[in-house]
Amino acid sequence: MDINFTPKIGTRFSLHGAHFEITFAEHSLIRYASTAGGKVHKTTFEQFDSLKKSGKIQITHSGHNDINHNNITYVRYRYRYVEAALVELTHPTSMKGLRSIINRVSNEINDIKPPSPRAVARWVKKSRQSGNNGLINRRNSGNQNLRFIPEIENLINEGIAKVYLTPERRSAGDVTSYVVGRAVEIGLCNKSCEDIQFPTERTIQRRIKKLDPYVITLAKKGSLAADKLARASGRKLISELVMSLVQIDTHYLDIHVIDESTGDVIGRPFLTCLTDIATRAVVGTYVCMYPPSATTALGALKDMLSRANLGLPGGIPSRIVPDNGIEFSNSSFVRICETLAITVTPAQIQDPDGKAHIESFFRTLTHGIVQKIPGTTFSNPTERGDYDSLKKAVFTIDQVCSFIQEWINEIYHKTIHTKTGRAPICFWEEKTKNIGPISLSEDEVNALARRPETRSIHKGIIQYDYIEYYSHALATLEAQGFIKVTILIDDLNLNSILVQHPEDRATLILVESNNPEYTNGLTIYEHEEAKKIRDEMTKSDITKLGKRSFELSRWKLLERVQQEAIKMKRFLKKLTNGESRKVYTQRKIAEIKNSILPPVQDIKVDAQTTQPVIEVISLSDTNTPRVKNENINPFKSIELE
C-alpha cells in the first residue's frame, strides 16, 4: 500500500468514469458503492492500491484526513518545529542541529515545555511519510497485543463465524459457550477451565461490534437485505432529452374483467407500461391476462415504437431500464433492442430508486381510474369492505384497456406533474419541437420484432415447436434444393411465420399454420404454458398406464404372434399327419392322378374323339383340386402353388 494514502470510509473516487464511495475498509477488505444507484462492490486493499498506482482510480474526496478542530492545535504546534528543521537544517533529524532550532522556535511561540530533539526528529520522519497527517497527536487506543493465547483467539474468530454469523438468532453468549466447549474438546484445558483465560461475553460483544454490518446482515438476512442496508436512497436519475431513458414495468391491475362471449369473470389483467423519464409521458402500453414475461415486454415495446404514427408520445429510445424479474435472454425483445441499438440496463434488485418514476405512475393510475371502475378489487380487503368485486365486474379486457388509454391521453398527460411542474404532453411537445425521436411504421415494427430461427422444409411443411406451417411456395423451394431456410417468428402471434428466400433475403414468404383454431392469436407465452399442461397430462397418463406401458404392449403383441404361429404349426402338422409339406403335396397329387385317370391298356384312343382334360391349378386350403375342362392334351402337367 502507498504509505501516504490509506482508503477509509467516506473516501470517494472515480473508476473508468464512474463514481464510487468507500463504505467499509477493515480487515484487508474494501467495500464501495456507486454514488448513483448504490450498487455494492468489493475489493482488497492490494487491488485498490494497484488500480490507484496505475492511474485508473482517481481520488475525488479523501476520507483519511484526520486534521480537525480538535487536533489542529497540536498539528500547528508541531508544524512550527518541523518546518524550521526542514528549511534550516541539511540533516533535519540531527540531534545537534535540532537543539538550536528548538531553542529558537520555543522562544518565538512562548513554549514553556519545548519538545526534546528526539521527539522533533520523530515528527520530521512522520511528516515526510504521511504529510500533515503524520503530525496528529494519536493517543494510544488500548492494548494492541493479543489478550488471549493464539489458540483461544482462533476459537473466538471461529465461534463468531460458525455460531454468530448464521441466520439463526445467536448471541455473544452462544459464542462464549462455543469457545469454552471447543477448548475443552481439543484439550486446551481441563474440564473446570481453571488453567486458561477465556473471553467474557462483553469481550465477544465488542468483537462483534467491530464487524462490518454488511457481513452480519449478509449472513443473517441474505444479500438483498445486505445490499439495501449498505446503500442510501441514491442519486435521482436525471434525463434531459426525450427518450434518452425509458423505464418499463408491469402492474397487476386492481380490477376483474369478464369473458366477452360467456360473461364469466376471467381474472385480473396485467398492464405493461413504459414512461419517458425526461417528460414523465407514457410512451407505450400493453394489457393482457398473462404475468410479466419477455412476451408482454415485447408487446409494450412494439406499441412504443409505432405510437408516433397515432400522434402519441413514443419512438426509439436510447436506453431502457426493464424489470429484473423477467428473463430476456434469447428473446425477440433483446433482438429488436440490439437491432435498434437500444441499451438495456436492468434495475438493481429491490432497488427503490431503479424504477421509482413508473412505480409512482402506477399509484396515480390506480387511484385515478382503475379503482373507479365497477369490478375493482381496491388495494386491500380493508378498503374493499363488503364490496363484491366479482359480482360488480361487467367490463371486458378491451373495454378496460380503452378506459386506461383515454385516462392517460386525456387526463394524465394534461395534468401538471408534481415533480416536473409541467403537463407531460406539453413538456413532450416542447422538447420534440425542433427534433423528435425516430419512429417506425407498424409494418416495419412487425418485421423487426421477429425472432430468426433455422428450420428444414419437408414436403412443403416447416415445423417449429410442434406447430406445422405449410405453403405451396415452400414446396417449390424444396424442389429447387433449398432445404434449410431462415424463419422469422412473431412471439405475439404464432398463427403465421415469415420465411426468408435463400437467394433474396428481402423476399419474405408468408407461411400459415395448418391448425389455425389453435394458433390464431397465440403468443409464445401461451404456447409454452400449453406445452407444460400437455406435459403434465402426459405424465399423468404414464403414471396411469405405467412408465413401460409401450414396451409392455409391444411385448404382448410379439407374444401373441408367437402363440398364433405355434397354433398354426400344430394345425398343419395334424393336417398332414406329421409329413412335410413337400411329401404331403406329392402324395396328394399321385392320389388324384390314380383316382381320375383309367388304366392305359383299357383306353382306346380315337383321334376323332375329344376327351375331357383335368388340369389341377392349385390346392386350396381344404386341399381340394379345382378342375376345368379344356380340349387339350389330356396329359398336361399338374402345377401347384
| Full DSSP string of 546-564 | -TTHHHHHHHHHHHHHHHH
According to CATH, the superfamily of the domain at 246-431 is Ribonuclease H-like superfamily/Ribonuclease H (3.30.420.10)
As a whole number of angstroms, the distance between CA 98 and CA 88 comes to 10
Q: Which CATH class is domain 150-230?
A: mainly alpha
What is the maximum span of the chain, computed from C-alpha positions, in angstroms?
Answer: 177
Tell me the HSE value of 429 on the side-chain side, using a 13 A CA sphere: 8
Which of 210, 215, 238 has the alpha carbon at shortest distance from 225? 215
Query: Cβ-count burial of 40 within 10 angstroms (0-12 exposed, 13-18 middle, 19+ buried)?
Result: buried
As a whole number of angstroms, the distance between CA 22 and CA 396 comes to 54
- Model pLDDT for residues 87-119, shown as the tens digit of each residue: 888 888 888 888 888 888 888 888 888 899 898
What pLDDT, on a 0 to 100 scale, did the predictor assign at position 239?
A: 58
Which of 306, 300, 304, 305 has the alpha carbon at shortest distance from 326? 300
Q: Which long-range contacts (CB under 8 A, 24 or more apart) does 573-579 make?
A: none
As a whole number of angstroms, the distance between CA 44 and CA 436 comes to 47
Which residues 6+ apart lie within 8 Å of 303 measured at CB?
284, 285, 286, 314
What pLDDT, on a 0 to 100 scale, did the predictor assign at position 127?
A: 79
What pLDDT, on a 0 to 100 scale, did the predictor assign at position 282?
A: 95
Render 496-513 in DSSP notation, one character per residue.
EEEEE-SS-TT-EEEEEE
Q: Which long-range contacts (CB under 8 A, 24 or more apart) does 283-287 make?
A: 283/243, 283/246, 283/307, 283/312, 283/313, 283/314, 283/315, 283/317, 284/248, 284/314, 285/401, 285/404, 285/405, 285/408, 287/253, 287/397, 287/400, 287/401, 287/404
- Model pLDDT for residues 162-185, shown as the tens digit of each residue: 888 888 878 888 888 888 888 888
Would you say 352 and 224 are in contact if contact means Cβ atoms under 8 Å apart? no
According to DSSP, residue 211 is labeled S
Averages of pLDDT over runs of 10 residues in the chain (641 residues) are 62 80 73 71 81 83 55 75 86 87 87 88 81 62 63 86 85 87 79 70 87 80 70 53 88 92 90 92 92 88 90 90 72 84 72 71 92 89 84 93 94 91 92 83 83 90 92 88 91 90 84 90 86 84 74 73 78 71 76 68 49 47 48 46 39
Render 468-492 in DSSP notation, one character per residue.
EEE-HHHHHHHHTT--EEEEEE-TT
Domain ranges of the chain: 12-61, 72-132, 150-230, 246-431, 450-527, 589-641
SS3 619: strand
Dihedral (C-alpha) 96, 101, 103, 109: value to the nearest 10 degrees? -160
* CA 621 to centroid of chain Cα atoms: 72
Which of 55, 48, 57, 52 has the alpha carbon at shortest distance from 25? 48
What pLDDT, on a 0 to 100 scale, did the predictor assign at position 616?
A: 46
According to DSSP, residue 291 is labeled -
* pTM higher than 0.85: no
Render 388-441 in DSSP notation, one character per residue.
-HHHH----HHHHHHHHHHHIIIIITTS--TTTSS-HHHHHHHHTSS-------
What pLDDT, on a 0 to 100 scale, did the predictor assign at position 228?
A: 66
What type of residue is 447? Answer: A
What pLDDT, on a 0 to 100 scale, did the predictor assign at position 628?
A: 47
Which of 446, 378, 372, 379 has the alpha carbon at shortest distance from 404? 372
